[in-house]
């Protein structure tokens, strides 16, 4: 699933496991970014022992169709304890009360701000926005245009943008304490009042920074996130919501960049979302009918040891999903970027994490939200109507799952 340097990191982990377990043979098929490959193998009756799900949004659909081995029993037998795991890391891998995948590191999102650009705009460079109200006024102040009205610098990276990924709209809903599903019944709730507020706030910010088409046009000029052309590294973006892999890249590609990492801001009337973060990640699943499921599980359990977590995190720059590993000195001290990287560890340990709920319709749900957000920004539909349409579409599909 990974490629390049990251694939090498995963290979090192597997090599170490084979050193420790010389009787086990592992064949890593590598660089498969296409989850449908594993699905086709399951359908064809030739499942692998283990596969990585590159998009967690597929977990629910595969699990709902009986394509994945439930792992609860193996989990209990191996002596792992749920309370040792980072909050959200197991719920992201669970569906209808059963565990269907194991995490190996998680991704976490926080606010990045460029101190130099804050200083230029007359803002306190040492004080990142705490609330979404502060974020909005800072973003507007940090947005610059040239004489003909074209954007030259954007206050904050737009969410759910198709050119440059900086979080999706469900992340903003989490900040408004909006839920995507009802608590006790299989109902989706995209059009709850909190979600509607999140939608309107987010769309209003794009409007205030220059409008949908102008912001999109500017974002289309952003370079690759992993490289010297990353718009945040180049000072085209004053702020962005992004993941823990950025500090290492920033030091590699933009060594002089003066920036900070802060918890995601919250609405001032929703203080329970102070210290919020959003989780993502890659998961390892054992497909139903895997020939060596016991051996596959042993590898998954080993991945939860401090040695494996540190080994992988140190080169992948992911956040360990075992709580005790978050305090590991080796990961958090040394080169300057590790200071920023460590901020994500604190946020994951003490913050308020959210993630997309695993549903059979998660991919449809997420894309429908993105499309609805587009429609609202483009002025084709009011937010309340767009979200209502999302609810109808996704609920209709959800009801069809047994």
Partner 1 sequence: MRNRYGNEVRGLAFVSPWLLGFLVLTLYPILATLYFSFTEYRVLTPPRWVGLRNYQDLFTDHDYFLPSLYNTIFMFLELPVATLLSVGIAILLNQKLRGMAFFRTLFYLPSVVPTVASAILWLWLLNPEYGLVNRTLDLLRLPRSEWLQSPLWSKPAFIVMDLWMVGGGIVIYLAALQGVPQHLQEAAELDGASAWKRMWSVTIPAISPVIFYNLVLGVIGTFQYFTPAFLMTGNPPGGPANSTLFYGLYLFQNAFAYFRMGYACAMAWVLFVLTLLASWVVFRSSARWVYYEGER
Which residues here bind partner 1, judged by CB under 8 A?
A: 36, 39, 42-43, 61-62, 65-67, 150, 161-163, 165, 212-214, 216-221, 360-361, 363-364, 367, 370-371, 374-375, 377-378, 380, 389, 393, 397, 400
Residue with smaller CB distance to partner 1, 1 or 138: 1
Extended beta strands in 133-209, E state? 144-145, 151-156
H/E element holding 340? helix 337-350
User: How many angstroms separate the CA atoms of 90 and 102, rounded?
Assistant: 7
Contact between residue 158 and residue 219 where contact means Cβ atoms under 8 Å apart? yes
Residue with smaller CB distance to partner 1, 94 or 161: 161
Residue with smaller CB distance to partner 1, 210 or 353: 210
Residue with smaller CB distance to partner 1, 133 or 397: 397
Contact between residue 388 and residue 195 where contact means Cβ atoms under 8 Å apart? no
Residue with smaller CB distance to partner 1, 63 or 348: 63
Q: In 3-state terms, what secondary structure has residue 103?
A: strand
Residue with smaller CB distance to partner 1, 229 or 346: 229
Contact between residue 189 and residue 195 where contact means Cβ atoms under 8 Å apart? yes
**Residues 167, 274, 130, 135: is their CA dihedral positive or negative?**
positive
Residue with smaller CB distance to partner 1, 4 or 149: 149
State the nearest-atom distance from the C-beta of 174 to partner 1, in Å.
20
Contact between residue 349 and residue 86 where contact means Cβ atoms under 8 Å apart? yes
State the nearest-atom distance from the C-beta of 225 to partner 1, in Å.
12
Q: 399: exposed, middle or buried (C-beta count within 10 Å: 0-12, 13-18, 19+)?
A: exposed
State the nearest-atom distance from the C-beta of 236 to partner 1, in Å.
10
State the nearest-atom distance from the C-beta of 363 to partner 1, in Å.
5
For 158, 190, 191, 384, the CA distances from 198, given in Å and listed in that order, are 13, 10, 10, 11
User: How many angstroms separate the CA atoms of 48 and 45, rounded?
Assistant: 10
Q: In 3-state terms, what secondary structure has residue 341?
A: helix
Residue with smaller CB distance to partner 1, 131 or 362: 362
State the nearest-atom distance from the C-beta of 150 to partner 1, in Å.
8
Residue with smaller CB distance to partner 1, 39 or 326: 39
Closest CA to 51 of 363, 288, 265, 400: 288
For 93, 111, 318, the CA distances from 108, given in Å and listed in that order, are 15, 11, 8
User: Greatest CA separation found in the chain?
Assistant: 69
User: How many angstroms separate the CA atoms of 198 and 205, rounded?
Assistant: 11
State the nearest-atom distance from the C-beta of 131 to partner 1, in Å.
30
H/E element holding 285? strand 283-285
Contact between residue 71 and residue 286 where contact means Cβ atoms under 8 Å apart? yes
Residue with smaller CB distance to partner 1, 108 or 154: 154
């Amino acid at each position: 699933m990974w490629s390049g340097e990251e694939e090498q990191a995963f290979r090192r982990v597997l090599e170490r496991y084979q050193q420790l377990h010389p009787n086990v043979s592992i064949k890593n098929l590598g660089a498969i970014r296409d989850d449908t490959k594993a699905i086709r193998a399951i359908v064809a009756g030739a499942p692998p022992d283990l596969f990585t799900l590159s998009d967690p949004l597929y977990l629910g659909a595969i699990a709902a169709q009986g394509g994945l081995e439930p792992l609860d029993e193996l989990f209990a037998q191996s002596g792992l304890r749920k309370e040792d795991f980072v909050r959200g890391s197991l719920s992201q891998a669970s569906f209808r009360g059963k565990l269907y995948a194991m995490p190996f590191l998680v991704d976490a999102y926080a606010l990045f701000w460029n101190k130099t650009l804050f200083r230029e705009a007359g803002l306190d460079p040492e004080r990142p926005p705490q609330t979404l109200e502060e974020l909005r006024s800072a973003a507007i102040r940090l947005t610059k245009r040239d004489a003909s009205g074209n954007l030259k610098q954007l206050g904050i990276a737009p969410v759910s943008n198709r050119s440059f990924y900086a979080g999706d709209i469900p992340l903003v809903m989490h900040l408004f304490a909006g839920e995507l599903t009802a608590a006790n019944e299989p109902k989706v709730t995209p059009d709850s009042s909190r979600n509607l507020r999140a939608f309107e706030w987010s769309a209003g910010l794009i409007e205030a920074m220059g409008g949908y088409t102008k912001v999109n046009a500017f974002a289309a000029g952003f370079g690759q996130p992993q490289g010297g052309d990353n718009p945040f590294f180049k000072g085209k973006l004053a702020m962005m919501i992004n993941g823990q892999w950025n500090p290492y890249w920033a030091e590699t590609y933009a060594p002089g960049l003066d920036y900070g990492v802060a918890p995601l801001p919250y609405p001032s009337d929703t203080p329970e979302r102070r210290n919020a973060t959003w989780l993502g990640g890659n998961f390892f699943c054992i497909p139903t009918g895997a020939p060596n499921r016991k051996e596959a599980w042993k590898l998954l359990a080993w991945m939860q040891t401090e040695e494996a977590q540190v080994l992988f995190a140190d080169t992948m720059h992911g956040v360990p999903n075992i709580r005790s590993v978050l305090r590991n000195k080796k990961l958090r001290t040394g080169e300057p970027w590790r200071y920023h990287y460590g901020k994500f560890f604190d946020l994951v340990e003490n913050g308020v994490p959210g993630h997309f709920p695993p549903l059979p319709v998660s991919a449809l749900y997420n894309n429908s939200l993105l499309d609805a957000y587009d429609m609202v920004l483009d002025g084709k539909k009011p937010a309340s109507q767009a979200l209502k349409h999302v609810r109808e579409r996704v609920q209709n599909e959800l009801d069809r799952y047994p």
